[in-house]
Amino acid sequence: MEGVMAVQQGVVANGRFAVGDLRSGFKGASVVNVKGFVKAAKVEAFPRLVTKCTAASSIAEQKGADSSLADVEADGRVFNFAAGPATLPAKVVKQAQEELFNWRNSGMSVMEMSHRGKEFTSIIQKAEKDFRELLKVPDNYEVLFMQGGASTLFSCIPLNLCGPEDVGDYIVTGSWSDKAFKEAKKYCKPNLVWSGKSEKYTRLPAASEYKLTPGAKFVHICANETIQGVEFKDYPEVDGDTVLVADVSSNFCSKPIDVSKFGIIYGGVQKNIGPAGVAIAIVRKDLLGKAQEQTPVMLDFKTHADNNSLYNTPPCFTIYVCGLVFEDLLAQGGLEAVEKRNIEKAQLLYDAIDGSNGFYKCPVEKSVRSCMNVPFTMGTPELEAAFLKEAASQGMVQLKGHRSVGGVRASIYNAMPKAGVEKLVSLMKSFQAKNSS
């Protein structure tokens, strides 16, 4: 019994409830069912892992956005320019750390909660509420937390919007819209109305360069191509019952968007919103219930709409972190303020590239350069390798370009502090000075 009491006391000392089976690692302890908990002092047999959470310090209370260079260095962290999974706001990571062991005095971690319990219900409901507020989502749209990332949604779109013989138009502006187009061939008659492949996806088409199919069920675009660094500034106009669909994975919540212009907006969260594991779909309600007969239940938007995104066990912890990010974005002043900061960061980087007298080159047409993903090259692969090595030594990582493109790519999503971009620009200038002939 001494081992059992030690387990009970240790659980209480950590602010958690001893419920269900406790399998102790202590000598002489047995596997027991403990109901309730015992009020007792902390004992050394079960060391306290974290201080018991009191009222959680909210993101809103930490308002005042960016981390400075000193903040990042003091935390022992790097500037992470990865394309996804990507950097998260430092205060979000710290709050998740604070609440990891005992979420807001619930006695358990979010990772342990029942997805149908009142605790997680409050988490997912608030996440949806804040997301709707951020994007000003109209009431006639559902917000769905799904699994599998945008790649799974590549299948969902044709399966939910059309029959096997129906046409869906695809504007292919980079690697991800190309993948979506190829996946659609399994489920409908996709029509490639424009492709930038012959120009290595360095520009976007003018409306006069393509002709949409009369009667097409939908027109699909990728709003921001993560690999090539091209971003739509304006969106195609569609007529009649044709639905505009956008994959916004890499510029989700980076700027305001008029949701009412689209039938479906979707994206994986692992670039701008949270950890990997969730895709969010904003679906106009009149488009629900039209899935092809063979559509798997988990790929049917109506399944998720009818069950409040809880048809099966969702990635609870990822949704929780997304919710913290939404709080943070609201605290920063909403997407209008976020967009302003993103434009400033991107301009710093593009100015450094354009002002380098050709030492650095961005292949993308200036009018459609991405504010999120900035690709650039140098004279030789050896020079690029030396640059990446020097960047890593200075705490700037994941700058290598995608394997299909090469070069350097800086992903400067919402959570990348301005200080990170400034440090990168400083390196670019000093590296050029050392390596110019």
Q: Which of 255, 271, 302, 423 is catalytic?
A: 271
> Annotated catalytic, 271?
yes
Q: Which of 103, 130, 169, 176 is catalytic?
A: 176
Mean pLDDT score across all residues of the chain: 90
117: left (phi over 0), alpha (psi -120 to 50) or beta: beta
pLDDT in tens, 300-314: 999 999 999 999 999
**Please, are residues 40 and 8 in contact by the beta-carbon 8 Å criterion?**
yes
Work out the burial of residue 69: count CB atoms within 10 Å of its CB; fewer than 13 is exposed, 13-18 middle, 19 or more buried: middle
3-state helix, strand, coil in the chain (%, to 5): 40, 15, 45
**Please, are residues 53 and 110 in contact by the beta-carbon 8 Å criterion?**
no
Phi, psi of 44 (to 5 degrees): -70, -20
How many CA atoms lie within 13 Å of 110's alpha carbon, on the beta-carbon side? Answer: 24
- Polymer length in residues for the chain: 437
Residue carrying structure tokens 């949701």: 259
Work out the burial of residue 25: count CB atoms within 10 Å of its CB; fewer than 13 is exposed, 13-18 middle, 19 or more buried: exposed
Residue carrying structure tokens 């029942």: 114
Structure tokens at 273: 């919103």
Q: Residue 343 carries which side chain, given as an amino acid letter?
A: I
Q: What's the rounded Cα separation, in Å, for the pair 75 and 93?
A: 12
How many CA atoms lie within 13 Å of 18's alpha carbon, on the beta-carbon side? Answer: 25
Instruction: Give one DSSP letter per residue of 188-240, joined into a string.
Output: SEEEEEEE-GGGTT-S---GGG--PPTT-SEEEEESEETTTTEE-SS-----T
Residue carrying structure tokens 């609870």: 316
How many CA atoms lie within 13 Å of 38's alpha carbon, on the beta-carbon side? Answer: 13
Q: What percent of the chain has pLDDT over 70?
A: 86
Q: Which of 130, 169, 178, 247 is catalytic?
A: 247
**Please, are residues 205 and 196 in contact by the beta-carbon 8 Å criterion?**
yes
What pLDDT, on a 0 to 100 scale, did the predictor assign at position 12?
56
Q: What's the rounded Cα separation, in Å, for the pair 125 and 195?
A: 40
Q: What's the rounded Cα separation, in Å, for the pair 119 and 109?
A: 10
What pLDDT, on a 0 to 100 scale, did the predictor assign at position 431?
99
Both ends of the chain: CA-CA distance in Å?
Answer: 78
Domains and CATH numbers, the chain: 1-49 (no CATH), 111-331 (3.40.640.10)
Instruction: Give one DSSP letter per residue of 35-82, joined into a string.
Output: -S-------TTS---SPPP-SPPPTGGG-S-PPPHHHHHHTT--EE--
Angle between helices 175-184 and 149-161 (to 10 degrees): 40
Please give the torsion angle defined by the CA atoms of residues 134, 137, 141 and 146, in that order, rounded to the nearest 10 degrees. Answer: -20
> Annotated catalytic, 261?
no
Q: Which residues contact 147 (CB under 8 A, 6 or more apart)?
A: 277, 278, 279, 298, 314, 315
What pLDDT, on a 0 to 100 scale, did the predictor assign at position 37?
38
> Annotated catalytic, 176?
yes
pLDDT in tens, 242-274: 999 999 999 999 999 999 999 999 999 999 999
> Residue ranges of the chain with pLDDT lower than 70?
1-13, 17-65
Rg (CA), the chain: 25
Please give the torsion angle defined by the CA atoms of residues 346, 137, 87 and 367, in that order, rounded to the nearest 10 degrees. Answer: -20
Instruction: Give one DSSP letter per residue of 377-395, joined into a string.
Output: B-S-HHHHHHHHHHHHHTT
Residue carrying structure tokens 């006639």: 140
What pLDDT, on a 0 to 100 scale, did the predictor assign at position 386?
98
